[in-house]
Amino acid sequence: MDFQPLKYIYKPAGNPEAYTLLLLHGTGGNESDLLPLAGNFGNSLNILSVRGNSEENGMPRFFKRLGMGIFDEKDLDFRTDELVAFVKEATIKEGFDANKVIALGYSNGANIAGATLVKYPDFLAGAILYRPMQPFKEIRSIGTIKEVPVFITSGMEDPTVNPEDTDTYVNKLMELGFAVDFHNLPTSHNLVNEDIGLAAAWLSKNFTL
């Protein structure tokens, strides 16, 4: 199968030095969904918000799943390559810095962001993973020596994620050399104000925006 382009919205910050926030929605979302959330992080970031190319009963996703929390890893592998190729092309078309892309993914979007970290450990400058799951059962990765900052929040009451699996995933990312900032919040799969406040503080601590 050939790579397909992804539908997207690009909003330039108007500064050639700017970081770009790559927004990756959850199942059933689209490229408009996370724009209001990104608005909480100020106006100094370019925004590249994309729609997943996979579909489940009319709901956009970034890759196929075989059941709740059971991923079609072959499709995930392909879609991760497709996403990275697309973002690389967008850096040229839209003229933003390829070394300054920070992913922000929610749920299914966090999972393809995690797959990107694993497969392309030095591609992203950082990543915000809201309610993620380990993307591949076996993580095979060369890792990074750059201590790429990764922010993760999970929900203590989230019925879709096993807390021990999240701990295992966080530890694996740290073993691979990522500098993980992990918060387990007293909430469910939905996002809460703390997800935004903590991520905003993490962004300003780790990046000169």
The Cα–Cα gap between 106 and 12 comes to 22
The Cα–Cα gap between 83 and 79 comes to 6
Closest-CA residue to 35 (of 95, 44, 24, 62): 24
Which is catalytic among the residues 33, 158, 181, 195?
Answer: 158
The Cα–Cα gap between 85 and 44 comes to 25
Question: Binding to ligand MLT (CB under 6 A): which residues in 107-136?
Answer: 107-108, 111, 133
Catalytic residue check, 107: yes
Per-residue binding letters, 140-179, with ligand MLT (x by CB under 6 A): --------------------x-------------------
Catalytic residue check, 32: no
Q: Say how many residues touch ligand MLT, by CB under 6 A.
A: 8
For the bound state, the minimum distance from the C-beta of residue 46 to ligand MLT, rounded and expressed in Å, comes to 25
Tokens standing for 188? Answer: 């469910």
Per-residue binding letters, 71-110, with ligand MLT (x by CB under 6 A): ------------------------------------xx--
Tell me how far the alpha carbon of residue 41 is from its chain's centroid: 16
Q: Which residues, including other chains, have CB under 8 Å from residue 100's CB and lie 6 or more apart?
A: 17, 18, 19, 20, 125
For the bound state, the minimum distance from the C-beta of residue 113 to ligand MLT, rounded and expressed in Å, comes to 11
Phi-psi category of 107—alpha, beta or left, where left has phi over 0 and alpha has psi -120 to 50?
Answer: left
Residues that bind ligand MLT (CB under 6 A): 26-27, 65, 107-108, 111, 133, 160
Active site (catalytic) residues: 107, 158, 189
